[in-house]
C-alpha cells in the first residue's frame, strides 16, 4: 500500500468512526439500536455529502483497521462500530463477561487530578474503555498527551457487582470506575 492509499484509508476510517459512533444524522444516516447501518444507505448518504465510498473500500477498512473498530453483519448488508458510541440512539446489548483480575486504562497525565477526584467516567460515551494489556493502554493514552497507565482492579469490582462487557474487538467496557479500584501502574 502506498503512502497516499494509507492516508486515504485513514481518512475513510476516521469518517466511518465519526458517522457510525457519533453523528450518523450529519449525513442523513439512520442506525438501529444495536448500531447497525445499511451499507447501501451509508454509501448513498456519504455520496450526497461529497464522500465517495463503495463496498470494497468499506470491506478493506473493516478488515485492515488495526483497532478492529468496525464489523460487517453476517449477511454482509450492514456495518457498525463495535464500541465507542456517543449517540444516544445506539445501545448495544453486550453480553456481560467476567473480567480478568487487572485491566488497564491509558490516559494523559493532565487528567489525573480529575480522575482521582471523580473516578473514571464515560463522559459522552456509553462506557469507559479498558485494555487487557499495558501496550494497548499506552497506545490509547498517547492520543491525549503524556501517557500514564492506570491499573484497574476489575475482578474485585466485578465481585462487588460492577458489570463488565467485552466488545468484538477485545476492548473491555464498564460504566464507571470509582477511585478506590484504581492505581497508577
pLDDT value of residue 157: 98
If asked whether residues 65 and 127 sit together in one domain, one would say no
The two beta strands, 78-81 and 37-38, are antiparallel
Residue 61 domain-assigned (yes or no): yes
If asked whether residues 77 and 10 sit together in one domain, one would say yes
If asked whether residues 106 and 74 sit together in one domain, one would say no
pLDDT at 65 over 90: no
60, containing H or E segment: helix 55-64
Residue 95 domain-assigned (yes or no): no
pLDDT value of residue 66: 79
- 164 lies in which domain range? 102-184
**Is the four-CA dihedral 143, 145, 147, 150 of positive or negative sign?**
negative
Q: Please provide the average confidence, as pLDDT, over all residues in the chain.
A: 92
pLDDT value of residue 7: 67
If asked whether residues 16 and 69 sit together in one domain, one would say yes
> Domain total for the chain?
2
E-only strand ranges, 82-184: 103-108, 120-121, 128-130, 147-152, 165-166, 172-174, 176-177, 182-184
pLDDT value of residue 126: 87
DSSP 18: I
Query: CATH code at 117?
Result: 3.20.170.30
Query: What pTM was estimated for this model as a whole?
Result: 0.76
If asked whether residues 139 and 108 sit together in one domain, one would say yes
pLDDT value of residue 123: 84
pLDDT value of residue 181: 98
pLDDT digit string, tens, across residues 24-51: 999 999 999 999 999 999 999 999 999 9
Length of the chain, in residues: 185
Determine what percent of the chain is predicted with pLDDT higher than 70: 96
Query: CATH code at 23?
Result: 1.10.10.970
Amino acid at each position: 500500500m502506498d503512502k497516499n492509499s494509507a492516508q486515504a484509508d485513514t481518512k475513510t476510517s476516521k469518517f466511518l468512526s465519526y458517522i457510525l459512533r457519533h453523528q450518523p444524522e450529519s449525513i442523513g444516516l439512520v442506525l438501529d439500536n444495536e448500531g447497525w447501518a445499511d451499507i447501501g444507505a451509508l454509501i448513498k448518504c456519504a455520496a450526497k455529502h461529497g464522500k465517495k465510498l463503495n463496498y470494497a473500500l468499506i470491506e478493506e477498512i473493516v478488515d485492515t483497521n488495526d483497532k478492529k473498530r468496525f464489523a460487517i453483519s453476517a449477511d454482509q448488508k450492514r456495518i457498525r462500530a463495535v464500541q465507542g458510541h456517543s449517540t444516544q440512539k445506539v445501545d448495544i446489548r453486550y453480553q456481560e463477561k467476567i473480567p480478568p483480575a487487572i485491566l488497564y486504562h491509558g490516559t494523559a497525565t493532565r487528567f489525573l487530578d480529575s480522575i482521582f477526584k471523580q473516578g473514571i467516567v464515560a463522559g459522552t460515551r456509553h462506557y469507559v474503555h479498558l485494555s487487557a494489556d499495558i501496550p494497548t493502554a499506552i497506545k490509547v493514552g498517547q492520543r491525549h498527551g503524556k501517557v500514564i497507565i492506570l491499573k484497574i482492579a476489575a475482578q474485585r469490582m466485578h465481585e462487588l457487582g460492577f458489570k463488565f462487557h467485552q466488545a468484538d474487538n477485545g476492548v473491555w467496557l464498564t460504566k464507571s470506575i470509582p477511585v478506590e479500584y484504581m492505581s497508577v501502574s
